């Protein structure tokens, strides 16, 4: 594998004035939730700050008081969307090895229960493929971290003797992410025809079989 070059540091939402108070934090969370629903429906580019403010029952200056700019709002939405995923990935990294891989269906069940969040991620990712897009660097960084996290889980399993010695963690991490992303895209397009959790459960069984085949432990 080629070594990933360091990504540019993503631009973040500014620290909100008054956001440290309980009332300010609650209002900020409400605004992020409204924006997330609108972005998931029509994308970041298709929604104006005024529409978000109107839907939330606040003035446009009032909205910008919390986020500074529309781009600041975008990063706040992404950070909120990614918080649970980062926590889940960190927990799996702490577990490592085969026990962590067997938690993949739990990730699918969580996503199946919150399709609007899965759609939000898919829409924002597609909008930010262009290197000049406002959240492009965020998604580059996110995927590099995900690959590193999964490769770390696999490497731990290999070092423990749970997985086969010839395993290439980096290559396998790419495969796992490709499966997860591709499956989620098909599920979003045709949810009645695809059992998201069932497919991940089946894949996990096959994945564990492949990883442990010939392992020394």
Q: What is the CATH number of the domain that holds 167?
A: 1.10.357.10
- The pTM score is 0.82
CA 77 to chain centroid: 12
Q: Report the SS3 class of residue 85.
A: helix
> Which DSSP symbol is given to 2?
P
With beta carbons less than 8 A apart as the criterion, state whether 82 and 142 touch.
Answer: yes
Smallest Cα–Cα separation from 123: which of 178, 190, 41? 41
Burial of 192 (0-12, 13-18, 19+ CB in 10 A): exposed
User: pLDDT digits over 49-76, tens only?
Assistant: 999 999 999 999 999 999 999 999 999 9
User: pLDDT digits over 122-172, tens only?
Assistant: 999 999 999 999 999 999 999 999 999 999 999 999 999 999 999 999 999
With beta carbons less than 8 A apart as the criterion, state whether 10 and 137 touch.
Answer: yes
Q: Which domain holds residue 102?
A: 22-212
Identify whether 9 is part of a domain: no
Identify whether 158 is part of a domain: yes
> Based on the structure, what is the number of domains in the chain?
1
Identify whether 88 is part of a domain: yes
187 has a pLDDT exceeding 70: yes
């Amino acid at each position: 594998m080629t070594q990933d070059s360091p990504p540019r540091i993503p631009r973040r939402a500014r620290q909100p004035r008054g956001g440290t108070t309980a009332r300010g934090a609650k209002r900020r969370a409400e605004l992020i939730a409204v924006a997330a629903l609108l972005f998931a429906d029509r994308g970041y580019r298709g929604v104006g700050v005024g529409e978000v403010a109107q839907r939330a029952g606040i003035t446009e200056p009032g909205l910008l008081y919390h986020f500074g700019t529309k781009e600041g709002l975008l990063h706040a939405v992404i950070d909120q969307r990614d918080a649970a995923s980062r926590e889940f990935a960190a927990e799996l990294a702490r577990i490592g090895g085969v026990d962590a891989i067997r938690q993949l269906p739990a990730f699918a069940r969580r996503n199946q229960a919150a399709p609007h969040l899965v759609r939000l991620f898919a829409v924002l990712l597609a909008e930010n493929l262009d290197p000049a897009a406002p959240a492009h660097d965020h998604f580059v960084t996110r995927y590099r971290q995900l690959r590193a996290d999964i490769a770390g889980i696999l490497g731990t399993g290999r070092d423990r003797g749970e997985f086969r010695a010839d395993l290439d963690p980096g290559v396998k991490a790419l495969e796992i992410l490709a499966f997860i992303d591709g499956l989620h895209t098909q599920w979003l397009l045709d949810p009645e025809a695809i059992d998201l959790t069932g497919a991940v459960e089946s894949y996990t069984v096959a994945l564990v079989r492949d990883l442990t085949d010939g392992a020394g432990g």
